[in-house]
Protein backbone atom coordinates (compact mmCIF):
# COMPACT_ATOMS: atom_id res chain seq x y z
CA UNK A 1 0.00 0.00 0.00
CA UNK A 2 1.16 3.52 -0.70
CA UNK A 3 -0.82 4.81 2.28
CA UNK A 4 -2.82 7.61 0.69
CA UNK A 5 -5.75 9.15 2.57
CA UNK A 6 -8.79 10.54 0.76
CA UNK A 7 -9.27 13.17 3.46
CA UNK A 8 -5.87 14.75 2.68
CA UNK A 9 -5.00 15.58 6.32
CA UNK A 10 -2.53 18.21 7.46
CA UNK A 11 0.93 16.86 8.35
CA UNK A 12 3.31 18.47 10.85
CA UNK A 13 6.82 19.34 9.65
CA UNK A 14 8.49 17.47 12.50
CA UNK A 15 9.69 14.14 11.00
CA UNK A 16 8.83 12.02 14.05
CA UNK A 17 5.36 13.52 14.32
CA UNK A 18 4.69 13.13 10.59
CA UNK A 19 5.74 9.49 10.80
CA UNK A 20 3.58 8.90 13.88
CA UNK A 21 0.54 10.43 12.17
CA UNK A 22 0.98 8.07 9.23
CA UNK A 23 1.37 5.05 11.51
CA UNK A 24 -1.73 6.06 13.47
CA UNK A 25 -3.72 6.22 10.24
CA UNK A 26 -2.80 2.59 9.49
CA UNK A 27 -3.92 1.53 12.95
CA UNK A 28 -7.19 3.45 12.62
CA UNK A 29 -7.78 1.75 9.26
CA UNK A 30 -7.06 -1.69 10.77
CA UNK A 31 -9.38 -1.05 13.68
CA UNK A 32 -12.18 0.20 11.42
CA UNK A 33 -12.01 -2.98 9.35
CA UNK A 34 -11.77 -5.18 12.49
CA UNK A 35 -8.61 -6.92 11.25
CA UNK A 36 -6.92 -8.81 14.08
CA UNK A 37 -3.63 -9.71 12.33
CA UNK A 38 -2.46 -9.10 8.81
CA UNK A 39 0.27 -9.57 6.27
CA UNK A 40 1.43 -5.98 5.88
CA UNK A 41 2.97 -4.95 2.56
CA UNK A 42 4.42 -1.51 1.96
CA UNK A 43 6.04 -0.11 -1.18
CA UNK A 44 8.67 2.67 -1.17
CA UNK A 45 7.62 5.20 1.52
CA UNK A 46 4.92 2.69 2.42
CA UNK A 47 7.67 0.20 3.30
CA UNK A 48 9.23 2.70 5.68
CA UNK A 49 5.89 3.38 7.35
CA UNK A 50 4.88 -0.29 7.42
CA UNK A 51 8.09 -1.05 9.32
CA UNK A 52 7.38 1.74 11.78
CA UNK A 53 3.87 0.36 12.25
CA UNK A 54 5.17 -3.17 12.85
CA UNK A 55 7.56 -1.86 15.50
CA UNK A 56 4.72 -0.16 17.35
CA UNK A 57 2.03 -2.82 16.77
CA UNK A 58 3.92 -6.10 16.31
CA UNK A 59 0.99 -8.19 17.55
CA UNK A 60 -1.02 -7.02 14.52
CA UNK A 61 1.47 -8.17 11.85
CA UNK A 62 2.02 -11.80 10.86
CA UNK A 63 4.50 -11.10 8.01
CA UNK A 64 6.09 -7.84 6.90
CA UNK A 65 6.71 -7.44 3.16
CA UNK A 66 8.83 -4.45 2.13
CA UNK A 67 8.85 -3.70 -1.59
CA UNK A 68 11.73 -1.44 -2.67
CA UNK A 69 11.48 0.26 0.74
CA UNK A 70 12.57 3.88 1.02
CA UNK A 71 14.36 5.51 3.94
CA UNK A 72 16.40 2.66 5.43
CA UNK A 73 20.00 3.59 4.67
CA UNK A 74 21.87 6.61 6.04
CA UNK A 75 22.82 9.27 3.52
CA UNK A 76 26.54 8.62 2.79
CA UNK A 77 29.15 11.14 3.90
CA UNK A 78 31.53 12.95 1.58
CA UNK A 79 35.01 11.59 2.29
CA UNK A 80 36.66 15.02 2.01
CA UNK A 81 34.21 17.37 3.72
CA UNK A 82 32.56 14.94 6.12
CA UNK A 83 29.17 16.34 5.13
CA UNK A 84 26.26 14.27 3.87
CA UNK A 85 26.00 13.59 0.15
CA UNK A 86 23.18 12.08 -1.81
CA UNK A 87 25.28 9.81 -4.01
CA UNK A 88 23.70 11.32 -7.15
CA UNK A 89 25.57 13.33 -9.85
CA UNK A 90 26.04 17.03 -9.05
CA UNK A 91 23.44 18.23 -11.56
CA UNK A 92 20.88 15.87 -10.02
CA UNK A 93 21.83 17.13 -6.56
CA UNK A 94 21.28 20.71 -7.78
CA UNK A 95 17.83 19.84 -9.15
CA UNK A 96 16.95 18.01 -5.93
CA UNK A 97 18.11 20.99 -3.85
CA UNK A 98 15.97 23.39 -5.91
CA UNK A 99 12.84 21.27 -5.72
CA UNK A 100 13.56 20.66 -2.04
CA UNK A 101 12.57 24.30 -1.48
CA UNK A 102 8.99 23.38 -2.41
CA UNK A 103 6.62 20.51 -1.87
CA UNK A 104 7.72 17.67 -4.17
CA UNK A 105 4.78 17.93 -6.59
CA UNK A 106 4.29 21.70 -6.55
CA UNK A 107 5.42 21.94 -10.17
CA UNK A 108 2.43 19.83 -11.26
CA UNK A 109 -0.01 22.17 -9.53
CA UNK A 110 1.80 25.22 -10.90
CA UNK A 111 1.38 23.87 -14.44
CA UNK A 112 -2.39 24.31 -14.24
CA UNK A 113 -4.24 22.83 -17.25
CA UNK A 114 -0.89 21.70 -18.69
CA UNK A 115 -0.43 19.40 -15.69
CA UNK A 116 -1.57 16.15 -17.37
CA UNK A 117 0.80 16.76 -20.29
CA UNK A 118 3.62 17.45 -17.82
CA UNK A 119 2.89 14.19 -15.97
CA UNK A 120 2.93 12.31 -19.26
CA UNK A 121 6.22 13.96 -20.23
CA UNK A 122 7.85 13.21 -16.87
CA UNK A 123 6.50 9.68 -16.46
CA UNK A 124 5.56 8.22 -19.86
CA UNK A 125 6.36 4.78 -18.44
CA UNK A 126 3.15 4.66 -16.40
CA UNK A 127 0.91 4.43 -19.46
CA UNK A 128 3.20 1.71 -20.85
CA UNK A 129 3.12 -0.28 -17.60
CA UNK A 130 -0.67 -0.44 -17.64
CA UNK A 131 -1.30 -0.61 -21.38
CA UNK A 132 -2.82 -4.09 -20.97
CA UNK A 133 -5.58 -2.52 -18.85
CA UNK A 134 -6.02 0.90 -20.50
CA UNK A 135 -5.54 1.98 -24.10
CA UNK A 136 -5.82 5.71 -23.32
CA UNK A 137 -4.36 8.23 -20.84
CA UNK A 138 -6.30 6.94 -17.81
CA UNK A 139 -3.14 6.44 -15.72
CA UNK A 140 -1.81 9.89 -16.56
CA UNK A 141 -5.13 11.48 -15.61
CA UNK A 142 -5.26 9.42 -12.40
CA UNK A 143 -1.76 10.50 -11.34
CA UNK A 144 -2.45 14.11 -12.19
CA UNK A 145 -5.71 14.38 -10.27
CA UNK A 146 -4.22 12.58 -7.24
CA UNK A 147 -1.41 15.10 -7.07
CA UNK A 148 -3.03 18.31 -8.30
CA UNK A 149 -5.12 18.71 -5.18
CA UNK A 150 -4.15 20.34 -1.89
CA UNK A 151 -0.81 18.75 -0.86
CA UNK A 152 -1.05 16.29 2.01
CA UNK A 153 1.01 13.09 1.87
CA UNK A 154 3.79 14.88 0.02
CA UNK A 155 4.03 17.36 2.91
CA UNK A 156 4.47 14.41 5.26
CA UNK A 157 7.09 12.93 2.94
CA UNK A 158 9.00 16.21 2.83
CA UNK A 159 8.94 16.36 6.64
CA UNK A 160 10.39 12.86 6.90
CA UNK A 161 12.98 13.12 4.10
CA UNK A 162 16.49 14.50 4.09
CA UNK A 163 16.23 14.52 0.31
CA UNK A 164 14.23 12.50 -2.19
CA UNK A 165 16.36 9.42 -1.58
CA UNK A 166 17.05 9.59 2.16
CA UNK A 167 15.14 9.77 5.45
CA UNK A 168 15.90 12.08 8.35
CA UNK A 169 15.30 9.11 10.67
CA UNK A 170 16.77 6.11 8.79
CA UNK A 171 14.92 2.91 9.53
CA UNK A 172 18.09 0.84 9.88
CA UNK A 173 18.55 2.56 13.23
CA UNK A 174 15.31 1.01 14.47
CA UNK A 175 14.74 -2.19 12.53
CA UNK A 176 16.25 -4.20 15.41
CA UNK A 177 13.14 -3.23 17.40
CA UNK A 178 11.02 -5.56 15.28
CA UNK A 179 10.23 -8.69 17.33
CA UNK A 180 12.54 -11.62 16.45
CA UNK A 181 9.51 -13.80 15.72
CA UNK A 182 8.20 -11.51 12.96
CA UNK A 183 9.24 -12.73 9.48
CA UNK A 184 10.35 -10.02 7.06
CA UNK A 185 10.69 -10.29 3.28
CA UNK A 186 12.28 -7.49 1.25
CA UNK A 187 11.47 -7.42 -2.47
CA UNK A 188 13.60 -5.31 -4.83
CA UNK A 189 13.56 -4.62 -8.52
CA UNK A 190 16.77 -5.69 -10.24
CA UNK A 191 16.87 -2.37 -12.13
CA UNK A 192 15.68 -0.18 -9.26
CA UNK A 193 17.59 2.81 -7.91
CA UNK A 194 16.99 1.34 -4.46
CA UNK A 195 19.94 -0.70 -3.17
CA UNK A 196 18.98 -4.34 -2.62
CA UNK A 197 22.05 -4.71 -0.38
CA UNK A 198 19.91 -3.00 2.27
CA UNK A 199 18.23 -6.37 2.74
CA UNK A 200 21.50 -7.81 4.03
CA UNK A 201 21.84 -4.86 6.40
CA UNK A 202 18.37 -5.54 7.78
CA UNK A 203 19.29 -9.21 8.26
CA UNK A 204 22.41 -8.18 10.19
CA UNK A 205 20.22 -6.23 12.59
CA UNK A 206 18.01 -9.30 13.09
CA UNK A 207 20.52 -12.18 13.38
CA UNK A 208 18.10 -14.69 14.89
CA UNK A 209 15.08 -13.86 12.77
CA UNK A 210 13.64 -14.77 9.39
CA UNK A 211 14.75 -12.00 7.02
CA UNK A 212 14.75 -12.77 3.29
CA UNK A 213 15.64 -10.64 0.28
CA UNK A 214 14.13 -11.31 -3.15
CA UNK A 215 15.36 -9.50 -6.28
CA UNK A 216 12.99 -9.54 -9.25
CA UNK A 217 15.03 -9.16 -12.41
CA UNK A 218 13.81 -6.77 -15.07
CA UNK A 219 11.84 -4.66 -12.61
CA UNK A 220 12.59 -1.07 -11.63
CA UNK A 221 11.15 0.76 -8.62
CA UNK A 222 7.52 -0.02 -9.51
CA UNK A 223 8.16 -3.72 -9.02
CA UNK A 224 4.50 -4.78 -9.06
CA UNK A 225 3.84 -2.97 -12.35
CA UNK A 226 7.14 -3.84 -14.06
CA UNK A 227 7.00 -7.60 -13.45
CA UNK A 228 3.47 -8.27 -12.15
CA UNK A 229 3.43 -12.04 -12.63
CA UNK A 230 6.71 -12.63 -10.80
CA UNK A 231 5.80 -10.13 -8.11
CA UNK A 232 2.42 -11.78 -7.54
CA UNK A 233 4.09 -15.20 -7.27
CA UNK A 234 6.37 -13.93 -4.49
CA UNK A 235 3.52 -12.33 -2.56
CA UNK A 236 1.18 -15.31 -3.04
CA UNK A 237 3.87 -17.68 -1.80
CA UNK A 238 4.19 -15.63 1.39
CA UNK A 239 0.43 -15.51 1.86
CA UNK A 240 0.20 -19.28 1.45
CA UNK A 241 2.90 -19.77 4.10
CA UNK A 242 1.13 -17.72 6.78
CA UNK A 243 -1.35 -19.55 8.99
Name 168's Cβ contacts closer than 8 Å, sequence gap at least 6: 15, 160, 161, 162
pLDDT in tens, 159-190: 999 877 889 999 999 999 999 999 999 999 99
Q: Is residue 43 part of a domain?
A: yes
Q: Is residue 231 part of a domain?
A: yes
Q: What number is the average pLDDT over the span 71-94?
A: 61
pTM of the model: 0.76
CATH number at residue 179: 3.40.50.1820
For residue 187, the cross-strand partners are 67, 214
Q: Is residue 146 part of a domain?
A: no
Provide the residue range defining the domain that includes 195.
15-90+167-241
Q: Is residue 101 part of a domain?
A: no
pLDDT in tens, 200-225: 999 999 999 999 999 999 999 999 98
Q: Is residue 25 part of a domain?
A: yes
Q: Is residue 99 part of a domain?
A: no
Q: Is residue 70 part of a domain?
A: yes
Q: Is residue 129 part of a domain?
A: no
Residue 91's Cβ-count burial label (10 Å; 0-12, 13-18, 19+) is exposed
Q: Return the closest-CA partner of residue 206 out of 241, 228, 230, 180.
A: 180
Name 46's Cβ contacts closer than 8 Å, sequence gap at least 6: 1, 2, 3, 67
- Domain count for the chain, please give it: 1
Distance in angstroms (rounded) separating the CA atoms of residues 103 and 156: 10
Distance in angstroms (rounded) separating the CA atoms of residues 30 and 46: 15
Amino acid sequence: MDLAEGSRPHFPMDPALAEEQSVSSIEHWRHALAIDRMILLGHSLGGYLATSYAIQYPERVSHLILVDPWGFQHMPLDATSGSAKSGFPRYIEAIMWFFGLFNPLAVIRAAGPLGPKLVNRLRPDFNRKFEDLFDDDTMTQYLYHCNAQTPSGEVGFKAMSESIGWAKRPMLDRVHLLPPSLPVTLVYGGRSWMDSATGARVAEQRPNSYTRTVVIEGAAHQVNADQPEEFNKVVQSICDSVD
